[in-house]
């Protein structure tokens, strides 16, 4: 620890944060993770990080929001074991080849060698073994279960805290239906959950893309990945939802008797919001050069109260401050009084960096009448009554969402040829263009994108129909679709 | 599946449950786990079970209650990796020898051999590595962190669903203090949390015992284990709290500068409520011969509403039923209308078996005036107004707690010699007696208990002082303490 850090730790010096997020997002991200104490990267297993209270408190609220919505949509929670026997894992050929290089294996217990157990990289093969025992009749369908779980993948790509690490935190829903049609409806419902929770509640816009054939989940007919735009112009896949082919149902023997008494295999979907990665998007999208900005909806402390007093009015100010805190608690608003013996300005900087959305400054002027409220996003003060606080919080969340929406919209540009595409990517844009096909036959054109531009074809929009006119900008064959191309994590 | 089971599944036959819990607790427990769909034991890894929605919804509420209380007591949540490098694990000699036979080891990733990583059997050695980086000054103390996590132990004893399995669900708090005195206060606070949450909220009484020397946590000065009495007369250890010696602090180098600027090692405690095991006690203590009884505080459905109608009054009854449900939701009471097309009596049996604490029966008589409420624990009906429901729920919880308290009190008997002890254990009692010492020198007497009676010395009470008069009932030396002896899980 340097002298400066030491002084900051014990509160002698202002903790400030000032890094240009637009110019150097990667540095900004690393620094805010450290400064705001979101995670510690010094754990002594490569690719594994320790998540600290200031991120965990928010991730827990994210879990709550998703779980409430999943339960509303008739999903029930369960806990499946973290260990999956190799035999389950091997049953579905595409699945095993997709995940095999990434699996951590348990091979020993105490001093004994045991049969290999996979630390779940995803839980289809654990769930489905039981589904074959649980599902009997069409009356059992739809059958929807989910779990909150941590997942293990031996990532070979560079790991980033929250974005990609070897253990991460997610929710996984595994659903079964009587028909392909019903399953496809579920895929649409999953997309709606993403919109409702991630966009409406957390202020994180995303576009659901139907992924190209070569980029889908191992064992799926198709995959819809919702992409979020990060400030460096790269996309990151957030919740993905998959329509499975009947491969799993057949090898795990998940069937039911239909209304005529005939045996049918189920149709399946799975949906996986990765909470730790959504958290990365949250801080990346909303933060600014002074640090984090947490939405009011998610902030562990929604209002920080700073008493400003002189020796003379100290008792009255402190009394007022406590009254205000009590009233906020009563209104279900989480608040905290910062009564540390440090300068007021230091407190301001500190809580701005920590991303607390609202700050109440309470001094002589506020003893009677209105309070002074500082809005973290606009960095503006305004005079409000106590009853207005919640409304101000909700308004702040709307502003964060709008700002993120507008950045996303502006980033999309139409390109008509390879040069325009190159320029667009250079300028951190998302390129929209005509493309031959996201079926297998388009893979060669996509390979050009990956090799020459270090970018990828994200797929076609799943939320609206976009019809291609003209030719694929790579092979000049008749375009079959409109795709979006971008760099990605 | 037998024909009977099949018919039950599709709702043709009454699902009833009638097993004498007192006479055959073990059978009762297994049957209710299966019938009420709490867990499925058919997962294909030995000792690992699948927890089903009807238990998970309750365990999630248990987590909430504990986490809220821990946070109130200034603990902050974090997420630590599930994998711990062998080197951390080996650092503390007593710890490694205590846990080594129980550890699952990850040795392979993809096709690569990797350095051995332990699947956490407990997380001291993960937390403490970071604590040495986080704690610097006396101003950082007390330092309290916890996580909710699943834990892995290669149990060689017989596994039981919820009671003991190879993966289980717990909370672990790891705290650091400036002095042994402060740490001991935390141990008392942990005992208070157990009382407040487990006893006051869940209705599960326990006695905190200071464990004998030979039965403490590997690396502790002493361990307080809170024992719960199961209906078969066996005790089960519920939350335990440990005052650690400074072994961990020294090998992990967790020190701080005190007010004089001098380097000191921290004093540590850890506390671990095992949610899945507490759930086992919950169903065991409160259930009866008709099935589960969930406390109102924890029930996923607090009130089941059964419409009782004729062809004529069906619309009015259904309208009333919906009004009642709406009002309950508004009052934050979770309810559900059972509108399945099966006989009313079947619904009664089904929800009694599932343990829903309150049942509203709504028919012609209830259209005007009071409602008919069935109390699951007393199996009595009474007429109440809608506004009384919550009060009735709270009263039910108090009755469950009192009943459990009284069973525990009655089970404790004083014994004066080996024969009385033998008889007491045979009668499923907890024997209270004079004992030489719970220090090392008492181990020989305790060995007699284990070998000849298949029971164990649970320790001395930590919640009140009990002074021994007379001689140890085994070795006839002067008794140093009063201990409790019982069979245990």
| Residues A429-447: tens digit of each pLDDT | 999 999 999 999 999 999 9
Among B201, B198, B200, CA closest to B228: B198
Q: Is A438 helix (H, G, I), strand (E, B) or coil?
A: coil
A295 in a structural domain = no
Regarding whether B447 and B378 lie in a shared domain, the answer is no
Q: Are the C-beta atoms of A277 and A163 separated by less than 8 Å?
A: yes
- Residue B308, pLDDT above cutoff 80: yes
Regarding whether A254 and A173 lie in a shared domain, the answer is yes
CATH number of the domain bearing residue A155: 3.30.930.10
CA distance B355 to chain A (A): 18
- Residue B109, pLDDT above cutoff 70: yes
CA distance B412 to chain A (A): 37
Residues in B closer than 8 angstroms to A82, CB to CB, are 82, 119, 150, 152, 167
Residues in A closer than 8 angstroms to B129, CB to CB, are 43-44
CA B147 vs. chain centroid, Å, equals: 16
pLDDT tens per residue across span A365-419: 999 889 999 999 999 999 999 999 999 999 999 999 999 999 999 999 999 999 9
**Minimum-distance CB partner of A129 among B44, B105, B152:** B44
The stretch B122-141 carries a mean pLDDT of 96
Give the residue from A258, A286, A314 where a domain finishes.
Answer: A286
A5 in a structural domain = no
Chain B interface, best mutation among A3, A81, A173, by max B CB count within 10 A = A81
Beta-carbon contacts of residue A195 (< 8 Å; ≥ 6 apart): A206
A92 in a structural domain = yes
Q: How far is Cα B244 from Cα A456, in angstroms, rounded to an integer? A: 53
pLDDT band at A14 (very low <50, low <70, confident <90, very high): low
CA distance A50 to chain B (A): 5
> Per the CB < 8 Å rule, is A106 touching B104?
yes
CATH number of the domain bearing residue A427: 3.30.110.30
Burial track B141-177 (b if 16+ CB lie within 10 A, e otherwise): bbbbbbbbbbbbbbbeeebbbbbbbbbbbbbbbbbbb
Q: Is A318 exposed, middle or buried (0-12, 13-18, 19+ CB in 10 A)?
A: middle
Q: Which residue in chain B is spatially nearest to A46 when comparing CA positions?
A: B85
Regarding whether A349 and A472 lie in a shared domain, the answer is no
**What pLDDT score does B11 carry?**
47
**Minimum-distance CB partner of A43 among B81, B104, B111:** B81
Residues in A closer than 8 angstroms to B133, CB to CB, are 40, 42
The stretch A71-82 carries a mean pLDDT of 97
Q: How far is Cα A167 from Cα A180, in angstroms, rounded to an integer? A: 33
- Show the tokens assigned to A52: 């600290």
Number of domains in chain B: 3
The interface predicted TM-score (ipTM) is: 0.94
The stretch A156-179 carries a mean pLDDT of 94
A400 in a structural domain = no
Residues in B closer than 8 angstroms to A10, CB to CB, are 137, 139
- Show the tokens assigned to A333: 């608003």
Residues in B closer than 8 angstroms to A52, CB to CB, are 78
B224 in a structural domain = yes
| Domain assignment of residue B401, given as a range | 303-407
Q: How far is Cα B412 from Cα B230, in angstroms, rounded to an integer? A: 13
Least confident among A134-148, B17-31, B428-442: B17-31
Q: Which residue in chain B is spatially nearest to A80 when comparing CA positions?
A: B50
Burial track B378-404 (b if 16+ CB lie within 10 A, e otherwise): eeeeeebebeebbebbeebbebbbeeb
Query: What are the C-alpha distances in Å from A336 to residues A219, A329, A333, A341, B117?
Result: 49, 10, 10, 15, 40
> Per the CB < 8 Å rule, is A88 touching B44?
yes
Beta-carbon contacts of residue A27 (< 8 Å; ≥ 6 apart): A19
**What pLDDT score does B150 carry?**
96
Percent of residues, chain B, with pLDDT higher than 90: 91
> Per the CB < 8 Å rule, is A83 touching B56?
no
The stretch A17-21 carries a mean pLDDT of 87
- Show the tokens assigned to B132: 């040495």
Regarding whether B444 and B320 lie in a shared domain, the answer is no
> Per the CB < 8 Å rule, is B111 touching A101?
yes
Q: Is B325 helix (H, G, I), strand (E, B) or coil?
A: helix
CATH number of the domain bearing residue B347: 3.40.50.800
Give the residue from A286, A318, A345 where a domain finishes.
Answer: A286
- Show the tokens assigned to A438: 């996201």
Give the residue from B286, B316, B339 where a domain finishes.
Answer: B286
> Per the CB < 8 Å rule, is A108 touching B108?
no
Question: How do strand B267-272 and strand B167-177 relate by DSSP bridges?
Answer: antiparallel
Q: Are the C-beta atoms of B432 and B414 separated by less than 8 Å?
A: yes
Q: Is B38 exposed, middle or buried (0-12, 13-18, 19+ CB in 10 A)?
A: buried
pLDDT band at B18 (very low <50, low <70, confident <90, very high): confident
Regarding whether B316 and B192 lie in a shared domain, the answer is no
How many contiguous H segments (helices) and E segments (strands) does chain B have? 14, 23
Residues in A closer than 8 angstroms to B130, CB to CB, are 40, 42-43, 50
Residues in B closer than 8 angstroms to A133, CB to CB, are 40, 42
A393 phi and psi, to 5 degrees? -65, -45
> Per the CB < 8 Å rule, is A1 touching B136?
yes
B291 in a structural domain = no
Q: Is B77 helix (H, G, I), strand (E, B) or coil?
A: strand
Regarding whether B199 and B143 lie in a shared domain, the answer is yes
Regarding whether A322 and A268 lie in a shared domain, the answer is no
- Show the tokens assigned to B40: 């499925």
Regarding whether B196 and B96 lie in a shared domain, the answer is yes
Burial track A106-137 (b if 16+ CB lie within 10 A, e otherwise): bbbbeeeeeebbbbbbbbbbbbbbbbbebbbe
Residues in B closer than 8 angstroms to A334, CB to CB, are none
The stretch B363-384 carries a mean pLDDT of 96
The stretch B149-165 carries a mean pLDDT of 91
Percent of residues, chain B, with pLDDT higher than 70: 97
Q: How far is Cα A362 from Cα A364, in angstroms, rounded to an integer? A: 7
Regarding whether B424 and B386 lie in a shared domain, the answer is no
Q: Which residue in chain A is spatially nearest to B44 when comparing CA positions?
A: A85
> Per the CB < 8 Å rule, is A109 touching B82?
no
Q: Which residues pair with B431 in a beta bridge?
A: B413, B485
> Per the CB < 8 Å rule, is B167 touching A81?
yes
Q: Is A213 helix (H, G, I), strand (E, B) or coil?
A: helix
Regarding whether A429 and A372 lie in a shared domain, the answer is no
B64 in a structural domain = yes
Q: Which residues pair with A241 in a beta bridge?
A: A224, A271
B3 in a structural domain = no
Regarding whether B387 and B428 lie in a shared domain, the answer is no
pLDDT tens per residue across span A303-359: 999 999 999 999 999 999 999 999 999 999 999 999 999 999 999 999 999 999 999
> Per the CB < 8 Å rule, is B107 touching A107?
yes
Beta-carbon contacts of residue B118 (< 8 Å; ≥ 6 apart): B83, B84, B85, B86, B89, B103, B104, B105, B106
* pTM listed for this prediction: 0.95
Regarding whether A52 and A105 lie in a shared domain, the answer is yes
Residues in B closer than 8 angstroms to A161, CB to CB, are none
């Amino acid at each position: 620890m340097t002298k400066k850090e030491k002084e900051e730790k014990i509160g002698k010096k202002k903790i400030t944060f000032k890094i240009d997020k637009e110019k150097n997002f990667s540095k900004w991200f690393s620094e805010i993770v450290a400064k705001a104490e979101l995670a510690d990267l010094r754990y002594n297993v490569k690719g594994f990080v320790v998540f600290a209270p200031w991120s965990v408190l928010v991730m827990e609220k994210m879990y709550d929001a998703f779980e409430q919505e999943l339960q509303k949509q008739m999903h029930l929670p369960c806990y499946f074991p973290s260990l999956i026997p190799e035999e389950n894992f091997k049953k579905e050929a595409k699945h095993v080849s997709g995940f095999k290089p990434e699996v951590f294996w348990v091979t020993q217990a105490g001093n004994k060698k045991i049969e290999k157990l996979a630390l779940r990289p995803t839980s289809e093969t654990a769930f489905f073994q039981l589904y074959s025992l649980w599902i009997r009749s069409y009356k059992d369908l739809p059958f929807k279960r989910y779990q909150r779980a941590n997942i293990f993948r031996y990532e070979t790509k560079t790991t980033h805290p929250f974005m990609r690490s070897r253990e991460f935190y997610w929710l996984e829903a595994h659903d079964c239906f009587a028909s392909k049609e019903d399953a496809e409806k579920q895929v649409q419902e999953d997309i709606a959950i993403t919109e409702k929770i991630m966009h409406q509640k957390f202020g994180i816009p995303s576009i659901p893309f139907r992924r190209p054939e070569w980029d889908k989940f191992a064992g799926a007919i198709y995959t819809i990945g919702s992409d979020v735009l990060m400030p460096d112009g790269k996309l990151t896949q957030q919740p993905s939802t998959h329509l499975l082919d009947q491969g799993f149902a057949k090898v795990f023997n998940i069937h039911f008797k239909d209304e005529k008494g005939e045996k049918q295999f189920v149709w399946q979907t799975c949906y996986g919001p990765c909470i730790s990665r959504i958290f990365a998007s949250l801080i990346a999208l909303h933060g600014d050069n002074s640090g984090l900005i947490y939405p009011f909806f998610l902030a562990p402390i929604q209002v920080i109260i700073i008493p400003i007093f002189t020796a003379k009015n100290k008792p009255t100010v402190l009394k007022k401050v406590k009254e205000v805190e009590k009233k906020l608690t009563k209104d279900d608003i989480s608040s905290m009084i910062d009564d540390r013996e440090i300068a007021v300005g230091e407190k301001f900087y500190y809580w701005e960096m920590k991303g607390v959305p609202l700050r109440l400054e309470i001094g002589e002027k506020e003893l009677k009448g209105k309070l002074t409220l500082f809005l973290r996003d606009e960095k503006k003060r305004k005079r409000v009554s106590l009853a207005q606080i919640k409304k101000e919080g909700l308004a702040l969340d709307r502003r964060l969402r709008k700002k993120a929406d507008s950045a996303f919209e502006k980033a999309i540009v139409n390109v008509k040829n390879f040069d325009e595409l190159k320029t667009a990517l250079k300028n951190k844009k998302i390129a929209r263009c005509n493309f031959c096909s996201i079926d297998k036959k388009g893979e060669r054109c996509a390979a050009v994108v990956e090799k020459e531009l270090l970018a990828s074809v994200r797929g076609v929009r799943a939320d609206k129909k976009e019809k291609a006119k003209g030719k694929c900008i790579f092979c000049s064959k008749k375009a079959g679709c409109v795709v979006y191309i971008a760099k990605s994590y």
